[in-house]
Amino acid sequence: MRILTFILLSLTPLLAHPPEFHDDPFRQLEEVLPTPGDTRTASGAPGHRYWQQQADYDIAVTLDEKNHTISGTETITYHNNSPDTLSYLWLQLDRNRHHPQAAGHQSYEAPNFDDLKFDTFRNLLHTPNFDGSYRITSVTTADRKKLPHSIVQTMMRVDLPTGLKPGEKYQLKLAWNFPINDRLKTWARSGYETFPKDKNTLYQIAQFFPRMAAYTDVNGWQNKQFLGRGEFALEFGNYRVAITVPADHTIAATGTLANPDDIYSQQTRDRLDQARSAKKPVFIITPDEAKQAIEIQPGGKGTKTTKTWIFTAENVRDFAFASSRRFIWDAIEHTLPGTDKKVWAMSYYRRATLEPVFHPRRRPHPQRLFQTHLRLPLPHRHLRARKNIWHGIPND
């Protein structure tokens, strides 16, 4: 009896915390994959009744460089392609992980203080004093009637007036704002970095708007908290995003610029035309021009202090952008191997990082990604790479 009790007690930790799939090389894949049915087959391919939700976004945001804030509004059109009637919707509020009391902060393990780096120590001191979470100021129907909603850290549930039936769509409107985090003090996928000598700030903005959570046939709503690591799946949809920034800024963003005549000079348009048939990347903004940009501040008599860039993207899962007055920008239009499809490869970077970023042994120009790494068809029109001091992010 004592032996049996010892064995059961020994097995208790394993039963309470079963090994993860990647920790068990002998675990069968069929234990992890969903049960085959008419929505998905045993091979993993979509079944004859497969469905997927769709979320379309019409967003307008303003970047306030003086106060380092983002304010915005959005209209979400949610398409219920599932066979279920939905009485509420879940949205992801990923920015709320920047609240001092967020579960993500509380779940982190203490660092090793015997070998603590300065950056880590600064982050630990700054985090409890910085609230970079959303200030949700409005959640309404399309005709501006208030919608009841509940916010639980990084998730928000919106209760619908009536059930959203299969095949129907629903529009809701939101307004929000938040302070942008200083990337050197608060680590995240998003943030700003100031370069005093340049009189310039570089913004790299992601997870900046409330996004629809995924609803699937396997798990229903994804309403787990965002702890700061990993990424949750998102619904595909169509985007129209208007971004208002200082007039001397250049933006790199998901999708295609819809109002180039309002944004680009004739010289910029001529250089883009040249890049369509070039054999190597063409400077759209040269290093000298990027340097001059910081010496010419907007706001003189008769000039605009802001510009609104409008981007559109079809059938994408997310949207991100970067904004700076000192971007060097090069581009080339590339034909995908084995097809007639042309795709833009563009790079945006600062002068100080020009050489290390695109050294062949470290990070090739996006054009080389097509030639050496890309093995699947690229469904999008652009491949952009942006570089700041902490990392580069490829985009759409």
DSSP lists the bridge partners of residue 252 as 322
Cβ pair 228, 154 in contact under 8 A: no
pLDDT tens digits for range 323-368: 999 889 998 888 777 778 888 888 888 764 454 343 333 444 454 5
- Classify the C-alpha dihedral 326-246-262-378 as positive or negative: positive
pLDDT in the model for residue 189 = 76
- Domains of the chain, start order: 54-324 (2.60.40.1730)
Q: Which of 205, 156, 215, 187 is nearest to 323 (CA)?
A: 205
Mean pLDDT, to the nearest integer, of 289-317? 76
**pTM score > 0.85 for this model?**
no
pLDDT in the model for residue 391 = 43
Stated length of the chain: 396
Q: In the structure, what pLDDT confidence band is assigned to residue 81 with cuts at 50, 70 and 90? A: very high
Strands 382-387 and 342-349: parallel
The CA distance from 324 to 204, in Å, is 9
Strands 200-205 and 191-195: antiparallel
Cβ pair 367, 375 in contact under 8 A: no
Q: In the structure, what pLDDT confidence band is assigned to residue 296 with cuts at 50, 70 and 90? A: low
User: Does the pLDDT of residue 208 top 60, yes or no?
Assistant: yes
pLDDT in the model for residue 41 = 87
User: Does the pLDDT of residue 55 top 90, yes or no?
Assistant: yes
The CA distance from 263 to 270, in Å, is 14
Mean pLDDT, to the nearest integer, of 21-29? 71
pLDDT tens digits for range 126-149: 677 778 889 999 999 999 999 999
Q: Which of 61-75, 105-119, 226-240 has the highest mean pLDDT?
A: 61-75
Mean pLDDT, to the nearest integer, of 173-201? 86
User: Does the pLDDT of residue 61 top 70, yes or no?
Assistant: yes
pLDDT tens digits for range 279-293: 888 999 998 888 887
Mean pLDDT, to the nearest integer, of 168-181? 97
The helix/strand count (H/E) of the chain reads as 8, 22
Specify the DSSP class assigned to residue 48.
T
The CA distance from 388 to 178, in Å, is 22
The CA distance from 109 to 130, in Å, is 19
pLDDT tens digits for range 237-256: 999 999 999 999 999 999 99
pLDDT in the model for residue 233 = 87
The CA distance from 212 to 207, in Å, is 12
